[in-house]
Structure 1
Amino acid sequence: MLVASLGGSAVVCDVLELLAEPGSPVPVSVRRNVPLPGWVGPLDLVIAVSQSGRAAGPLALAAEAARRGASLLTVGASQSPLADVAAQARGVHIDIGRGRTTSRTALWSLLAPVLLAAGHLGLVDVTEQVLLDAADRLDEVAEAARPSSESFVNPAKVLAADLAEGVPVVLGDGALNGVAAGRAASMLARTARVPATFGELPDDAAQVVACFDGPYTTAYGEAAARPPSGGDIFADPYLDGPAPPRLALLMLRDAAPEPMTPEAVEAAALADAVVAAAKEVGVRVSQVLAQPGHPLVRLAGQIATTDFAATYLALGLGLDPAVSAHVADLADRTGR
């Protein structure tokens, strides 16, 4: 199986790859753009996902897969070029409807049919009940993070306030939260217009901790003597200039398995060590803990929380979460 999606839909690839890796009887490959790998042929399934049905990469991959006689499943807008390719190839097209403004808000409309199809094929452990459980988890987060909820008890508003005061670094404590971290960084950039980097433990621990020596923490240069809670109380912004931004670490952590495995104990210890090191140099640390459940259900909760936080951060900065003038300008310049 090969899955093609990019931009706001790219997380579909990441989630399917995550869930298929432990038990899929066939390889699941991810491709963002052309060329289609040479091994794809009549014995293979290609899934192409595009909210608009016009994204050049998935569209070209789907067309080439059809030419080679591969089975084709497409997900996107009806009456679109992608739907036409599926029809001509006698494939299956899942219509998500028209009028969607952005793939960022259509994530589950794009992801659910792909996971359901992969579940029926035995490639992932996802049934209709799992999807219903994921929907319930999304409802729970939506209730807790609703706009009418007071800021001091709304987890997404609290998270947005914490991230607004620094340069965000999003770190997942494992593969599942690594996918959630990538989604969070994308949402912070596209929705809140805040540049954010992300990583996954254990591989990215060193590069994140190395940043604690840099100019965005109290450990750097003369700032080493400053209190970890903030800047120098005697600093004069007119003479000394504005204080530099500080790192803000967002640690996404998975629910503890029962019983605890040695791998889980080691992962928790590493995450705790990174958090402790961050706090020692004045990094503002926020943690989002997944609630127990199926991996897809846990992932749904993490993604929903950070999606809400990115939206509240945009609103707090006085920005329209849905529309970026520069993205629209880029589309006009490139004709896409």
Structure 2
Amino acid sequence: MVTWFDEARLDDERVLGAHDVALRALAESGARVRRESHDASAATAEAIAGQQGLDQPRAVIAAGPDSRLLRAVLEPWCPVPFVAWPGPALPGWAGSLDLVVMLAPEGSDRSSASAVAEAVRRGCQVVVACPPTSLVAEHAAGRYTTVLPTVTGDQLATAVVMLDYLAQVRLGPRADADSVAIALDAVAQECSPFRDLAVNPAKMLAIALADTTPIVWGGSVLAARAARRVAESIRRASGRTALAGDAEHLVPVLEAARPRDVFADPFADAADVPADLRPLLLVLDDGAEDPVVREQRGRLQAAAARRDVRVETVSTDAATEVARYASLVLQGTYASEYLRIGFVED
């Protein structure tokens, strides 16, 4: 069975209507951030009031599967040691002097419940963003525990709730839910299914990705995290390989690309010979101007130029670091969904 990409499907109202649930969920990303921020504001204020007069924790431990997202945001800013610990336990030294934070958007993960229960047993201060009646919330019950209630199951919206709390207790940068929601709304408007190919960057990116092996790179810590999320969404949408990593790991992949054969007929024997998918370098640019980021971007683009590899760039000018991360991820996710829509099996 041959899978091919039909770009006409991206402007077909009937086809787009059949994928309305997925596209609507993307369009509502900003609304979920606003809802979670509003609904958790009272619990956040109460938790902050309870911290008045207390010393800063000895260390902050981000537990659970989404701990690396918190680390990407907080590690450069946190005034005390910060550790991401995604496993079902805690580091051996964690105790009553430390703060354990966790994102549990669904609240049903048994590994997260185990980690938070251990934190409670050790007497750690615990702050969990999760549904208030979930498995994780039940295991988090304790004297030094705060549950920031969430309801949408959205990882990013849940993270914004936690980051807002941490910013107000001076353990992280300003998250600003409004700026994140505004950035997400802007992407939803630009990438709307009602905008046709000529003016829709996500649809154009999906067309570029369709017959390639995407190599996704982000220079800053948050952009690199976004690159991994985008590569994951491309793999889910297409069932094909999509790579994300540091420049030192991706440059050899680009340099190994075979030279383009300008005389090749892409339609010859298409039914019998699988297409030789060439790489495409997808750069996620969040505006970071660090010299190391510029040098790595230059190396990747030079390697791509030497092997005649196409380069596409997704950029953002959102107001805050978290908003820029959110914008990059949503743009990549829209492109992935259009990629899924465009594929047809014969």
Q: State the TM-score, normalizing by the size of structure 2.
A: 0.75
Structure 1's consecutive aligned runs of 4 or more residues displaced over 4 angstroms after TM superposition are none
Contact 1:165–1:248, Cα closer than 8 Å, also in 2: no
Q: State the TM-score, normalizing by the size of structure 1.
A: 0.77
**Residue of structure 1 equivalent to 2:258:** 218
**Residue of structure 2 equivalent to 1:189:** 235
Deviations 1:134-183 (A, max 9, x none): 21111111110111011221111111221121111111122231111122
**Residue of structure 2 equivalent to 1:20:** 74
Structure 1 residue 115: deviation in Å?
0.4
| 2:273 counterpart letter in structure 1 | G
**Residue of structure 2 equivalent to 1:300:** 326
CA RMSD of aligned residues (A): 2.5
**Residue of structure 2 equivalent to 1:137:** 183
Q: Choose the corresponding residue for 1:164, options 184, 202, 210.
A: 210
**Residue of structure 2 equivalent to 1:270:** 296
Residue 283 (str. 1) matches residue 309 (str. 2): yes
Aligned residues: 286
State percent identity of aligned pairs.
28
Gaps of 5+ in 1: 258-262, 320-336
Structure 1 residue 235: deviation in Å?
8.2
Structure 1 residue 107: deviation in Å?
2.3
Q: 1:279 to 1:235 in 2, by over 3 A?
A: farther
**Residue of structure 1 equivalent to 2:17:** none
Contact 1:250–1:286, Cα closer than 8 Å, also in 2: yes
Residues 111-260 of structure 1 mapped to structure 2, 5 A cutoff: 111-126=159-174, 130-199=176-245, 204-214=246-256, 217-219=257-259, 226-227=261-262, 232-233=264-265, 236-237=268-269, 241-255=273-287
Contact 1:255–1:292, Cα closer than 8 Å, also in 2: no
What is the alpha-carbon distance in structure 2 between the residues aligned to residue 26 and residue 69 of structure 1?
19
Q: 1:69 to 1:270 in 2, by over 3 A?
A: closer
Structure 1 residue 304: deviation in Å?
1.6
Deviations 1:42-82 (A, max 9, x none): 11111122222121221111000000011111122232111
What is the alpha-carbon distance in structure 2 between the residues aligned to residue 211 and residue 170 of structure 1?
11
| 1:121 counterpart letter in structure 2 | V
What is the alpha-carbon distance in structure 2 between the residues aligned to residue 304 and residue 240 of structure 1?
36
Structure 1 residue 318: deviation in Å?
5.8
**Residue of structure 1 equivalent to 2:40:** none
What is the alpha-carbon distance in structure 2 between the residues aligned to residue 236 and residue 157 of structure 1?
27
